Amino acid sequence: MMNSLSKLKDKSLKGKVFLVRIDTNVSVEEGRVKNDFRLRSVMPTFEFLLERGARVVAIGHREPSPEASLEAIAEYYKSFFSTHFIKSCEPENVRGAVGDLENGHLLFLENLRSLPYEKENDDNFARAVASLGEVYVNDAFSVSHREHVSIVGVSRYLPSFTGFCFEKEVRELSYAFFPERPFVFVLGGLKFKTKAPLIEKFIEKADTVFVGGALANSFFKQKGWEIGFSAFDGGVDLSELVDKENLLLPIDVIVENERGESGVVESDKVSKRDNVVDVGPRTIEGLSERISSAKLIVWNGPMGNTEKGFYDQTHTLARSIAHSSGYSVIGGGDTIESIDGLGLENDFSFISTGGGAMLDFLVHETLPGIEVLKNSPEISF
């Protein structure tokens, strides 16, 4: 069982120092946060702690480089809370700022991945970070498949709890383990090796498992169909999956030739000069019919090569899911980014903050960041 932050609702938190891990890996342009979905998701946890007079030290990371700063993240939260930022995450350098933090105030440390010890899960660094606080809260479900200091290391030395966003992720994604039927599971994107275990698991649980995006190319290849110079994973044996009755593959695809010309062809009519860049409109039309009668829809991964601007079928699919009467759970960083701006956020039943973490949780029904919480020290106040 996970330790829920709600267990502390009757305790006095005034003056207590909470280390709160959130996902700060968001896009920043010209010093401003571009998409605040993940940052908004943890608001209930910050509000719960700060309104009770706790002192909150927020920790997180940004990529692609260790030099990526969290200063813009702190600036974002200044619109909601009394927020401060210190341009260091070395425990000895920030100890004074933590000690001076006022009750009900929020302090952001710098990008933890600017130090190698974070990803190495260095035990000495874990002890040092833990020494900054009295209680640890993990509200970063989306990175809790990583065995890093801020996910599993600190929790060994402090009483540890899940934040409200984390709790909701586990609750909502768990619907897929005991689904209402009909259940439609939709997978797109690339990274076949990370998604193959999902297909293997949910082919036994779902009424329909639809595989689109570049993932479908590997199935086409298994069938002996031409895929031109399309991306695929040749290292996976799909012979036991390709003929499953509840596996649904694209019946038409959008291809692009070497001259940059695109068009729609049947999936088994791709030429050697073609690159499959999206699923076709007839495919989405047929999938949408199944979605319209589904009681549960889970979706991860775009349908097309969004880097090349092929968004249309992903957008059509998103609208079908959003407007269906079934319970809809969607996730994946590429998925969320590809439908940003459609104005559909409130039309899905749940949007996961996780990409890889969502996939790992659906496969294993737990994460390293969950397992470590089961053995954290008892709280002493």
Please state, in angstroms and rounded to a whole number, the distance separating the CA atoms of residues 296 and 341. 24
Is the pLDDT at 2 greater than 80? The verdict is no
pLDDT band, residue 189 (cuts 50/70/90): confident
No. of H helices and E strands in the chain? 14, 17
Share of the chain above pLDDT 70, in %: 100
Q: Given this model, what pLDDT does residue 1 score?
A: 56
Q: Given this model, what pLDDT does residue 239 score?
A: 86
139-161 burial: b if 16+ Cβ within 10 Å, else e:
bbbbbbbbbbbbbbbbbbbbbbb
Residue-wise pLDDT for 7-16, tens only, equals: 999 999 999 9
Lookup: tokens for 222: 């298994």
**Cα–Cα nearest to 290, from 317, 255, 312:** 317
Helical segments of 237-278, H only: none
pLDDT band, residue 369 (cuts 50/70/90): very high
The enclosing H or E element of 184 equals strand 183-187
Q: Given this model, what pLDDT does residue 333 score?
A: 81
Whether the full predicted model's pTM is greater than 0.85, yes or no, is yes
Q: Say how many C-beta atoms besides its own lie within 10 A of residue 307's C-beta.
A: 9
> Does residue 239 contact residue 196 with C-beta atoms inside 8 Å?
no
pLDDT band, residue 375 (cuts 50/70/90): confident
Phi-psi region of 290 (alpha: psi -120 to 50; beta: other; left: phi over 0): alpha
DSSP string, 354-367: -SHHHHHHHHHS--
Question: What does DSSP say about strands 252-256 and 262-266: parallel, antiparallel, or unpaired?
Answer: antiparallel
Please state, in angstroms and rounded to a whole number, the distance separating the CA atoms of residues 303 and 314. 5
List of domains in the chain: 5-170 (3.40.50.1260), 179-363 (3.40.50.1260)
Q: Position 196: which residue type?
A: A
Stretch 219-238: mean pLDDT: 88
